[in-house]
Every structure is written in C-alpha cells, then in structure tokens.
Amino acid sequence: MGEFELIQRYFAVAPCAQGGDGVVRGIGDDCALLALPPAEQLAVSTDTLVAGVHFPAVCDPFLLGQRALAVSASDLAAMGATPMAFTLALTLDQANAAWLEAFAKGLQQMAAACTLALVGGDTTRGPLSMTLTVFGRVPAGQALTRAGARVGDLLCVGGELGDAAGALPLVLSQRQAVAEIAEPLLARYWSPRPQLALGQALRGLATAALDISDGLLADCGHIAKASGVALQIEAARVPLSAALCALAGHEHALACALSGGDDYRLAFTVPPERLSAVQAQWPEVRMIGQVLAGQGVQLLDAAGLAIEAPRGGYQHF
Amino acid sequence: MGEFELIQRYFAVAPCAQGGDGVVRGIGDDCALLALPPAEQLAVSTDTLVAGVHFPAVCDPFLLGQRALAVSASDLAAMGATPMAFTLALTLDQANAAWLEAFAKGLQQMAAACTLALVGGDTTRGPLSMTLTVFGRVPAGQALTRAGARVGDLLCVGGELGDAAGALPLVLSQRQAVAEIAEPLLARYWSPRPQLALGQALRGLATAALDISDGLLADCGHIAKASGVALQIEAARVPLSAALCALAGHEHALACALSGGDDYRLAFTVPPERLSAVQAQWPEVRMIGQVLAGQGVQLLDAAGLAIEAPRGGYQHF
C-alpha cells in the first residue's frame, strides 16, 4: 500500500479530519491553513511518544491513539487555549491494516472528545513513534503561563494525582489487580482526559498554570522558577484516588502523585478570593498549598514540618 | 544531563530562538504563542526524518540540522507563505554534546537563512529521528494550493532537478567524484535552499504550486489530481545540472529528475502571459510543459512522442 493511500484510508476520511473551527484547509496540500478570530493568538505544542520509552512497544493501538492525542492536548489545556487542530507524524515499522485502523479509531475518539481536527502530518517508515503537534486559540494576552504566580496565591490541582504512574506495573503486566482497582487506574494511564474546559475557565482567574506531566514536584518547580516565587505543598492535601491507595498503599501512592508524572491534570495558582468560584464549578479542584516568597518547592508533612522531597521528574537523559 | 538543561543549552539560547515576526512566546511554557496580522492565515506543515531512512544513520550532524529544517521550510515555500517559526521534536539514542552542538548550529544556520524562529519542541530518548513543524503566514485566500491549475497554463519548475537523488551514491559513500562534481551535488542533498522568496512572489501569479519532494512525476501527479487536469512534461525541457550529467550520464540524470525526489524546488502552473514576469525576476525558473484537459501526467520525448514514465515517487510502505 502506498503512503498516500495509507493516509487517505485511515486518517483523511476520519470524522476528525472533516475540518473544524478555524480550519481553512486540512489534509492534502503542502500545508494546512488555519484562521484565527481577530485579537486571538495561536497556541502550539509538540510532543513525541516513542515505543518502549513512553508506551509499551506491544500495546493496544486503540488506547495508544487515545493517549497520544490526550498527552498533547493537555498542553492546550495548560495555556487556557480553545482546541482547534492537530498534525500527526507517525513512524511505523510496518503498515499493518488492523493496527492502523484501531490506532486511527482511538485517535479519532480522543479528537472528537477534545474538538481537535486532524489537518495534516507525515507517515514514515522506522521504529514506532509519533509526534503530535496541537493548535489552539486564546484571546491575546489571556494565555495562562507559568510566570504569573504571586505571593499569597493558593496552589491548586485539577484532581487526583498519581494514578497513571501507579498504573505502570499494570500497564507493563508486572502486576495484576481486581477490576475495581485496575480499570480506573489503567483508564487514567491510557485515556487521560485533558482538562480543556477547566483551562479555558481559568483564563482571567488563575495567575499561573501548567499541566502535570513530569510529576507534581518537578512541574511545580517550573512554576516557581518562571514566577520567581516558592511553592509550598502540604502532602496531606494532595488528592489520591481510592484505587491507587488500594493498589500501592498510601505512602507509595503519595510518591506516585509527587514524582510519578503522566497525570495530565492542571496545576495552577489562584488568589484566595477566587478559589470558591473555581471550586463551585469544578469540585474536583483541590487546594494543596500556597505561594511564598523565595524559590523552589517545599513539601510539608501533616504536622507542618518540611520533609525532603523525593527527586522529582522524569529525566530522559 | 537533564532534558531541560539539554534543551536550554543547545536550543533555547540559539539566535533562532530569540523570537521573530509574530512570535509572542517561544520556548519555555506549555505552548508557544504566535500572533497573525489581520486578514492573514497560518500555514502549517510537519515532516519527519528517520535515521537510516531519510538520512544515513552516521552523518555530519551540522548538515543534518540544515537539511531537516530545509525539508520542512520548503512546504511553506510551496504555499507562498512567509516563514515565521518552527518546533523541533528530537528523538536521540544518547545525549552527545558534540553531536548536539553541531546539529543545533546547522539548524540555526538554516533557521537564520529561512527567517524561522525556534519556538518549542520536545526531546525524547529513542532511535534517532526528528519531526519538524513549520509555521508561516499568508494573506487569506492567497495561499498557493495544488488545486488551481487550468487548461492552457504552463508548467514550470524553480530550477535544476535531480541533483539530490543523483548525489545519493556520494552521500552513502558508494561512489566518489572529483570536487567540482561532488560538492555541488552534496550541497543540494544536505543544504537544499527552500524557495521561500519565489513562493511568495508567485502569490497572485501561479495557479497551482507544490514543492518537489517525491519526484517531479509523482508530484505533478498531485497537481493534476487536485486540479482535475492533465500535465504534459517535455523531457528535453527538464533542467539538469552539469554536475549531475557528468556524474550520472544524461539518461540517469533525467531519471533522477523525474523520479528521484528530494529536490525541494517548486513546481507550479502559470498562465502563459505571466511567465515572462516570473522569469525576469527568477531566471532559474524553467517552463517544462503545459496543462491539458484530462488527467494524469504525460511525458513527451524530444520528438514530441509520449514515452512511458518511470514509476515515480518514493513509497514508504
């Protein structure tokens, strides 16, 4: 099968390639064309997933398609951007029809959930990997960045953390668990739900934001550095799911939440007087700490004593 | 070395990351932010290069950096877009400082030549490959597409073809040649010059355009299909370089030009009365055929007889 037929068969005809908000020209020319409403800016993010590094080399292609797009779309959520479109650069060691069909379906389902249109990409032969570039729009000056946290702000997260990291032994079939425990954890690994609506709602409310991909501590470190402040996290306030605690025990569950990564939930800072407005609409949002003068990230135990943080963040090299 | 230091050291401080036309926010947050002038649209293209497939696994990283960006930027030229920015998703099997430094320099030099600012990306561990996504802007409705060729238009190319394909035996060290022959051919493989200025100049003049990456015949087939016309190419008019003919002989040189790919020169259709205006400014532009009613691509020999075209275009699968 030729490269062009391959793309045509599995991707160009997908509903997610039918064009959407702002898509002037999608798949099929040298470039896609996007239009922005007046006074809006384009938000762009690129992420690569490599087989054997970011996902098991042998896995369900439908789930992989979902996960690949969710990981990238989460960056749009972190900027408060309204999703528009994405490109897919897919490198495959072979063109397997059943694999491609399932992968395209998973991608398509996540694209529909995120209202993202597939507008272009590239298909190449090589070791399995994929690079997705996502596009969103945001009113000029209203993007959520990492740089705006102010002393006195509260630090919040968009929900329970650590599930995806805790699920890894299940993903890698190193461990088994009963369905009530395994299913929600595996779903958080394979089908993270980018918090796009929350991100957009936080425009004008949050002072800084990002999505947690490298672990809470490492990512809070990015906010602290970009904003020139210190972040203090109360360990007892970090929300953990019942499934994760049941699988891993409380102590390891907390470690997953602090340093595990792959959460794709938002962390953000917000002035105290705005928290109730956020939580009224987003009850899963939890306050986990506050912004102080200084630098770095400080972790407090239940007694309010500073504890040494586990070394945080996934390091590729 | 951590991923963040790696990116910081070699890419974020490069001149090409200092922001450019339309770059509101570059490297360092969850998304880059781009702004468009009123009534302009964003042109986007993504290309992946895989070691051992699109370039030799062992090669000069400086040249690779140049080539990777040029290949992508050529798609902006094909749409008549003004270059703005690009992202780099780089997958490396190891973080080798000397390799990275040279790669970043080559990338940077091509970025400066193309006026493209590096605004983001991803660095991952895995088999060597890279996906670049390029961004340009074009006045609404003025993008050059593949779909506008009309019966009676002339078919033109932006200069000599086949050099990069002809250079492959030199690139792969399967053959050697004297410097006067090897150097210009290797330069056309490793440092193609995207015809960005020509593409912008063709806005409002050309009726259809693309960049030749899969071989003249295959790419002309894309114009013919998208425009619903036939393209007739006179083989004797296809411009070939002296170096290519010296290395490969005329017959093989023509085959490289027709089916070799990797040219990254523009092919476009233009009404006859506009050709002289184009060639006055771009003397390297050559008329090689015409647009007829019908479908597909027809190749004529010097006597005007139809000859069977070699099977065209690089097929990954």
CA distance B24 to chain A (A): 8
- Which portions of chain B are predicted below pLDDT 70? 1-8, 12-20, 309-317
| Residue A208 near residue A197 (C-beta atoms within 8 A) | no
Residues in chain B closer than 8 A to A79 (CB atoms): 29-31, 33
Q: CA separation (Å) from A5 to A28, A109, B51, B317?
A: 12, 22, 24, 10
CA distance A58 to chain B (A): 16
Q: CA separation (Å) from B239 to A57, A127, B11, B146, B287?
A: 46, 37, 38, 22, 9
Q: Give me the mean pLDDT over the A168-172 stretch.
A: 93
Number of alpha helices (DSSP H) and beta strands (DSSP E) in chain B: 9, 13
Pull the structure tokens for residue A285: 């949002």
Which pLDDT tens digit goes with each residue over A251-296?
999 999 999 989 999 999 999 999 999 999 999 999 999 999 999 9
Closest CA to B297 of B309, B279, B287: B309
CA distance B209 to chain A (A): 9
The residues that bridge with A85 in the sheet, in sequence order, are A117, A135
Mean of all residue pLDDT scores within chain A: 92
Cα(B192)–Cα(B211) distance, integer angstroms: 12
Which pLDDT tens digit goes with each residue over A291-310?
999 999 999 998 888 887 65
Residue A188 has pLDDT above 90, yes or no: yes
Which pLDDT tens digit goes with each residue over B171-230?
999 999 999 999 999 999 999 999 999 999 999 999 999 999 999 999 999 999 999 999
| Residue A129 near residue A48 (C-beta atoms within 8 A) | yes
CA distance B180 to chain A (A): 34
Q: Tell me which residue in A54, A75, A95 faces B317 most closely, judged by beta carbons.
A: A95
Inter-chain contact B41–A24, Cβ cutoff 8 Å? yes
Decide the pairing of beta strands B117-125 and B32-34: unpaired
The residue in chain B having the minimum alpha-carbon distance to the alpha carbon of residue A142 is B33
At A316 the pLDDT is 45
Mutating which of A4, A5, A21, A29 best tests the B interface, going by the most B Cβ atoms within 10 A?
A29
Q: Tell me which residue in A33, A81, A315 faces B2 most closely, judged by beta carbons.
A: A315
Mutating which of A131, A132, A196, A198 best tests the B interface, going by the most B Cβ atoms within 10 A?
A131
Cα(B202)–Cα(B153) distance, integer angstroms: 14
Residue A141 has pLDDT above 50, yes or no: yes
Pull the structure tokens for residue A95: 């063109």
Pull the structure tokens for residue B95: 């973080």
Cα(B299)–Cα(B307) distance, integer angstroms: 6
Inter-chain contact A29–B210, Cβ cutoff 8 Å? yes
Inter-chain contact A31–B75, Cβ cutoff 8 Å? yes
Over the range B200-213, which residues count as b (16 or more CB within 10 Å of their CB) and which as e?
A: bbbbebbbbbbbbb
The count of CB pairs under 8 A between chains A and B is 218
Residues in chain B closer than 8 A to A316 (CB atoms): 3, 123-125
ipTM of the modeled complex? 0.90
The dihedral built from the CA positions of residue B30, A21, B140 and A121, taken in this order, carries a sign that is positive
Mutating which of B131, B145, B217 best tests the A interface, going by the most A Cβ atoms within 10 A?
B131
- Strand, coil or helix: B111: helix
Q: CA separation (Å) from B166 to A131, B49, B218, B221, B246?
A: 30, 19, 17, 22, 11
> Which band of pLDDT confidence, cut at 50, 70 and 90, is reported for residue A315?
very low
Residues across chain A: 317
At B14 the pLDDT is 59
Residues in chain B closer than 8 A to A99 (CB atoms): none
- Strand, coil or helix: A291: strand
Q: Residue A306 phi/psi, 5° resolution?
A: -65, 130
Q: Tell me which residue in B28, B119, B129 faces A126 most closely, judged by beta carbons.
A: B129
At B304 the pLDDT is 85
CA distance A206 to chain B (A): 15
Inter-chain contact B75–A146, Cβ cutoff 8 Å? no
> Which band of pLDDT confidence, cut at 50, 70 and 90, is reported for residue A160?
very high
Residue A246 has pLDDT above 70, yes or no: yes
CA distance A2 to chain B (A): 6
Q: State the helix-helix crossing angle for A163-171 and A179-190, rounded to 10 degrees.
A: 110
Decide the pairing of beta strands B208-211 and B266-270: antiparallel
Mutating which of A8, A9, A46 best tests the B interface, going by the most B Cβ atoms within 10 A?
A46
Q: Give me the mean pLDDT over the A89-96 stretch.
A: 89
Inter-chain contact A127–B94, Cβ cutoff 8 Å? no
The single-letter code of the amino acid at B102 is A
Cα(B243)–Cα(B170) distance, integer angstroms: 13
User: Strands across the sheet with A117-125, in order?
Assistant: A117-125, A82-92, A129-139, A40-50, B32-34, B23-25
What is the pTM for the complete model shown?
0.91
Cα(B39)–Cα(A35) distance, integer angstroms: 9
The dihedral built from the CA positions of residue B96, B101, B105 and B108, taken in this order, carries a sign that is positive
Domains in chain A (CATH in brackets) are 3-139 (3.30.1330.10), 154-307 (3.90.650.10)
CA distance A306 to chain B (A): 26
Residues in chain A closer than 8 A to B217 (CB atoms): none
Closest CA to B148 of B200, B219, B209: B209
Inter-chain contact B33–A143, Cβ cutoff 8 Å? yes
Pull the structure tokens for residue A228: 């020139």
